[in-house]
Homo-oligomer: A and B are copies of this chain.
Amino acid sequence: MARRGAALELAILGLLHDSPMHGYELRKQLIALLGWGRVLSYGTLYPCLKVLVKTGHIVADEDVQVPVRGRRNRIVYRLTAEGKEFFAQVMEESGPTTWDDESFGVRFAFFARTDSPTRVRILEGRRSRLQERLENVRTATQRGRERADSYTRELQRHGLESVEREVEWLTELIDRERAGGYTGADEAAGDQVGDAAGDADDSGSTSRSA
């Protein structure tokens, strides 16, 4: 589950929570949603959908009834109960391997589908990963300081600064989350939360780093 494709699978499952979709539409939404610089080619997406069908996380409904007047038949995919459960499980289990740029991005994009303890855990994990990276870069740059000219140093400085800023951002989000839910805009994003939190099993994780 540390492979890149896992992020795509998770993103698909996340998107299909809202409504069934066909591949073409899914791709557009994914590109818009996560700023994924990558192209997300069909050569990646369609095989991925087939895998998800094979694992039973989604099902394909041949869209024969309303072919939008003449358009090629679309294959509409819909989330199964198993898929929904799998998605929730992956979000909750987020471990050290999932704090990379991409893995974190997908998880954050679908934060509304999880509960607050999981959100805090993911945010904290990401933050500690970034702080680790800061340490490494700082020691690495100090070892090679003599041979670096001012341009090289400027590049390193800028890199460090942007990571530091993400740490600050995360800290802010964690604080807000702890203060009782995030309110980025005045919109209620809590309609999907709460139905999957019946099994009180991971409630202890809230008081882990405090």
A-side residues, CB < 8 A to B, are 18, 29, 31-35, 37, 101, 105, 108-112, 137, 140-141, 143-144, 147-159, 162, 165-166, 169, 173, 182-185, 187, 189
Contacts and interface: CB of A to CB of B under 8 A. Distances in A.
Given A112-B151, A151-B184, A151-B189, 11 more contacts: A18-B147, A29-B147, A31-B140, A33-B148, A34-B155, A37-B101, A105-B155, A112-B150, A150-B183, A150-B187, A165-B165
A157 B144 CA distance: 35
A32 to B, nearest CB: 4
Contacts of A156: 35
Contacts of A162: 162, 165-166
B151 A109 contact: yes
A122 to B, nearest CB: 11
